[in-house]
Amino acid sequence: MEIEKFIAESVQGAVEALYGPLSGEQLQIQKTRKEFAGDYTLVTFPLLKKSRKSPEMTANEIGEWMAANVPQIKGYNVIKGFLNLELAPECWAERFAEIMADKQFGFAPATGRTMMIEYSSPNTNKPLHLGHIRNNLLGYSVAEILKANGHTVIKANLVNDRGIHICKSMLAWQLYGEGETPASSGMKGDHLVGKYYVEFDKHYKAQIKELVAGGMSEEEAKKQAPIMLGAQEMLRKWEMGDEEVRALWTTMNGWVYDGFDVTYKALGVDFDKVYYESQTYLLGKSLVEEGLAKEVFYRREDNSVWIDLTGDGLDEKLLLRGDGTSVYMTQDLGTAFRRFEDNKLDDMVYVVGNEQNYHFQVLKLVLKKLGYAEWSDHITHLSYGMVELPEGKMKSREGTVVDADDLIADMVKTAREMSAELGKLDGCTEEEAEAVSTMVGLGALKYFILKVDPKKTMLFDPRESIDFNGNTGPFIQYTHARICSVLRKAAEQGIAYDTKAEATLIAEEIELVKMLSEFPATVAAAGENFAPSMIGAYIYELAKSFNGYYHDHSILREENVEVRKLRLQIAATVASVIRKGMKLLGIDVPERM
């Protein structure tokens, strides 16, 4: 029995029996607020024209009729114009039986929609850092949630493998690298290339200082610094297909990809398709030519190509530099076009930080003006806030970032230390201890980041995230492990609980069944809002409620066989929903801890 549907139909029957057929009036039914007694609440104000009575009298009449004619209604109360209905325990028992029987509980049937989620989108001039971690975890989780909502989802990564930033690392390696490689240095490839990005910035600043000391303005010095001119020349050579530059580019990018793969595997994220800007920027250039032919764009005297969006409340936007090299917008036009054409997408979601809000406004508008409104309206920018540390913002070129690999290793190490201190690893083999520590460390990291609304800037505190109490991943993981321990002991004692329990649900059990019932709606809302934080909040509340129940009610020591069976079934179902919900966040839960 779908309780929400049943309540709606019963209320409609009551209203029509008392006041005649509904003619356009909308029934407003919602879950009863926690501070009031009841399960569902009817708002009577839209029905007053039909009842021609006060809100309180209307609510009382409907309540009386339902109590007399609907056996599943245990009771009701009226607060002003709000009718709070309380269902009989048998209704919740029936609902619980449905939840247990539904192997796909919480997940929607196929919708036929195809959606692409782009996340990660790293530059190949530096390793992944804490900001990338939020991006990857958010993108992967949203993709899993959208799958659970019945959509076909393509997880995509657009690698920014070309441009001036790449040339900076390449030139610095040429000038100062002395042939250093990942093999010769023992460094991960992405770390090695990132080292030379920082090296470029160091020499660039020194050259600016020297030119300013010689009488040049700082603005001019930034343009005339030899190392910057060298990087710009290298970019021109790359776009002209210079063999030597392309060979170095292929080698250094290869080092980076090998490094990225290690980090992605450690984070537990993956991709169905990987796009490279080096393969899409030319398509973007062809769209620019198309825009010039349609007079959507215009060319300036220096040969650069622009679009004037001032009439749309924006500004003028560069699409092609005077020397013919492309900019991010050029590439994004080409990439968007290719994706919709190749994959017949219904929706495209970009997971990109909020500093790019304006960029995506422009992207959609430019595509619309080029005549692609049919699908440009189906582009969504899932904007998220930056991750900050207690000491402030991170800067890649200055080498002041929190490296993703170091953070993952530190989280696992800290999880092991804290788990051991609390006795969570007692009786574990070395292999089990390592597996649990990895699961807890990554679970803490992922949950701490994903429990925050994506739009908010967040402060990351590694130690706080591994607390086994409070709103953390380890607290939820420990709850799951605790339930698994109870179920294991039941199996060891030969206690079966796979048949219907002939026991009446008590108040705390009804509350748990109510919470379990909300899982499908939570998954749907999280998908609609691209908000893993909704899943996190739900799973935390479920784990917290079960812990309270477990504290007050013995399971295995319960002497009444049927009551014990029911409690084991509730425990197993809670564990199943915790497992499903955490999986949507990309988090594994241990069976032993």
Neighbours of 294 (CB within 10 A): 11
pLDDT in tens, 101-160: 999 999 999 999 999 999 999 999 989 988 899 999 999 999 999 999 999 999 999 999
Worst-scoring range by mean pLDDT, 22-31, 60-69, 124-133, 516-525? 22-31
The confidence score (pLDDT) of residue 261 equals: 96
Would you state the pLDDT for residue 23?
Answer: 80
Domain 3-87 has CATH 3.30.1360.70: yes
CA dihedral (29, 34, 36, 41) in degrees, to 10, reads 0
- Which is nearest to 577 in space by CA: 105, 81, 79? 105
**Which residues partner with 117 through β-bridges?**
155, 349
Check residue 398 and give its pLDDT. Answer: 47
Q: Report pLDDT digits (tens) over 185-214.
A: 999 999 999 999 999 999 999 999 999 999
Whether 529 shows a pLDDT value over 90: the answer reads yes
The token pair at 166 is: 């790449």
Instruction: Provide the mean pLDDT of the chain.
Output: 92
3-class secondary-structure state, position 341: helix
Percent of the chain residues topping a pLDDT of 70: 98
Share of the chain above pLDDT 90, in %: 78
CA distance 363 to 327: 12
In degrees rounded to 5, what are phi and psi of residue 19?
A: -125, 5
Q: What does the pLDDT read at residue 428?
A: 83
pTM, two decimal places: 0.90
CATH class as words, domain 404-584:
mainly alpha
Q: What is the pLDDT of residue 425?
A: 83
pLDDT in tens, 371-400: 998 889 999 999 999 887 665 544 444 445
Distance in angstroms (rounded) separating the CA atoms of residues 131 and 134: 5
Q: State the DSSP code for 493.
A: T
Residue type, 13: G
pLDDT of residue 283: 85
* The dihedral sign for the CA sequence 498, 499, 503, 504: positive
Burial of 301 (0-12, 13-18, 19+ CB in 10 A): exposed
Q: What is the pLDDT of residue 342?
A: 87
Mean pLDDT value of segment 359-368: 94
Least confident range from 154-158, 167-171, 237-241, 259-263: namely 237-241
DSSP 75: E
In 398-552, where does DSSP find H-type helix? 404-421, 430-450, 462-465, 473-492, 507-517, 519-528, 532-552
The domain 119-388 is classified under which CATH number: 1.10.8.60, 3.40.50.620, 3.40.50.300, 3.40.50.720? 3.40.50.620
Find the distance separating the first CA and the last CA of the chain, reported in whole Å. 37
pLDDT digits (tens, 9 = 90+) for 451-463: 999 888 888 877 7
Name which of 103-107, 219-223, 589-593 the model is least confident about: 589-593
Query: What pLDDT is recorded for position 1?
Result: 56
Asked whether the domain spanning 404-584 has the same topology as the one spanning 119-388, the reply is no
Which three-class secondary structure state does DSSP give residue 353? strand
Mean local confidence (pLDDT), 428-434: 87
The whole-number pLDDT of residue 152 equals 98
Task: State pLDDT tens for residues 473-487.
Answer: 999 999 999 999 999
pLDDT tens for each residue of 504-521: 999 999 999 999 999 999
SS3 588: coil
**440 within 8 A of 475, measured Cβ to Cβ:** no
Segment holding 84, helix H or strand E: strand 82-87
pLDDT in tens, 311-334: 999 999 999 988 887 788 888 898
Domain range list for the chain: 3-87, 119-388, 404-584
pLDDT at 397: 44
The answer to which of 42-46, 82-86, 370-374 has the lowest mean pLDDT is: 370-374
pLDDT of residue 369: 93
pLDDT at 587 over 80: yes
